Amino acid sequence: MTDFNPNEACAPNNHYFGFPYEYKETPLVLVSMPWDVTTSYRAGAAHGPQAILDASVQLDFFDFEIADAWKLGIGTYPVEESRPIAALSAKMRPVAEKQIAFSEGRLKRYPQAKREADRRLLEESCQRANAWLEAVCDDILKENRHAAVVGGDHSSPYGLLKALSRVHEAFGILHLDAHADLRKAYEGFTFSHASIMYNALQLKQVMKLVQVGIRDVCQDEQDYAASQGPRVQQFPDIALHRRLYEGETWHTLCQEIITALPEKVYISFDIDALQPSLCPHTGTPVPGGLDFAQVRYLLSLLRQSGKRIIGFDLSEVAPAPPLPRQQADEWDGNVGARVLYMLSNTLLASL
């Protein structure tokens, strides 16, 4: 610690933000989850954790609202421990692509026996990935510390949600996303990126789901949300912007969002909640969305509200594929790193 100067350039050290903390000594541990087997539009989120890690060391760490924020204690679970998950994701992605192509009618010849065998293999692989994360987070939570997931597609944090459900009798989820993620077994995948909130609601400890910024949903999802009554409350992008255009303030809307949440809050942040200009290579970009300042203000008010943030995930950050003889576009990782720092500080300052 005596050698770390937050005013100088950070050297990459396989820790998010280049911080010198050992993860066993910090109140917050960031766990990489390089997984994107079920992504239905375009893959790449499995490379999100590394893109964020690479970009995070060039941040400046002064926070205008939280004094000495960098000292709060953000640790990094050893990145090398997640490499088997990355390898499993890379192995299973081509298998999943066959399933997706068949479900979309693009693949005509896929014998049923082979299709069923592949489906079982994919299901088992998703369960293995979830079990790994759940075990890692269990160990962190047992030490009265906090875990957060850096994905990966939005199916990535399910293991953390399972672990939290054993520690907390009741909590709510603040879900920022372009999508509702309330589909059941989308394209045949139980643990789909499009099903994470449906799966979360199967946990009885999740007493409230507050969805902010959603703008690309299907009728089945809306019907399911309605079936949950007040347990699911939505603030769609179209409604938020209409109210802003008609004279309400973002402050008023944020207060309404926060009031809808219970005392304990888990934040699930899909990067495509933001405007696509901030995450152009995410798996399923959608026009519209929140700007960075709106998210920062919402999280600031949440921190000041007195509610306790018990964990979070940042999902669907995907770096641009490198072009021949050109450096890869690092914008997605750059934005993702800043969102990750903001989420981390929000959680730690809420304790």
Q: How many helices (H) and strands (E) does the chain have?
A: 10, 8
Residue 328: pLDDT band (50, 70, 90) is low
Section 184-203 average pLDDT: 90
pLDDT tens sequence across 137-191: 999 999 999 999 999 999 999 999 999 999 999 999 999 999 999 999 887 788 8
Q: Looking at residue 1, what is its pLDDT?
A: 55
pLDDT tens sequence across 231-276: 999 999 999 999 999 999 999 999 999 999 999 999 999 999 999 9
Is the pLDDT assigned to residue 2 strictly greater than 70? no
Element (H, E) at 207: strand 206-212
294: exposed, middle or buried (C-beta count within 10 Å: 0-12, 13-18, 19+)? buried
- Residue, of 11 and 285, whose pLDDT is higher: 285
Q: Looking at residue 253, what is its pLDDT?
A: 98
Residue-by-residue DSSP string for 278-297: GSTTSSS--S--B-HHHHHH
pLDDT tens sequence across 53-70: 999 999 999 999 999 999
Section 103-120 average pLDDT: 89
Is the pLDDT assigned to residue 326 strictly greater than 60? no
Residue 313: pLDDT band (50, 70, 90) is very high
- Do residues 194 and 45 make contact, with C-beta atoms less than 8 angstroms apart? no
Please tell me whether the peptide bond between 229 and the residue prior to it is cis, using omega within 30 degrees of 0.
no
pLDDT tens sequence across 21-55: 999 999 999 999 999 998 888 889 999 999 999 99
Element (H, E) at 253: helix 250-259
Section 317-337 average pLDDT: 82
Residue 297: pLDDT band (50, 70, 90) is very high
What are the b/e assignments for 87-115, b being 16+ CB within 10 Å?
Answer: ebbeebbebbbbbbebbeeeeeeeeeeeb
Q: What is the separation, in whole angstroms, between the first and last Cα of the chain? A: 23
Section 88-111 average pLDDT: 90
Q: Looking at residue 219, what is its pLDDT?
A: 97
Count the residues in the chain. 351
Residue 320: pLDDT band (50, 70, 90) is confident
What is the percent of the chain where pLDDT is above 90? 84
Q: Looking at residue 250, what is its pLDDT?
A: 98
Is the pLDDT assigned to residue 327 strictly greater than 80? no
| Domains along the sequence of the chain with CATH | 37-350 (3.40.800.10)
pLDDT tens sequence across 281-295: 999 999 999 999 999
Residue-averaged pLDDT of the chain:
94
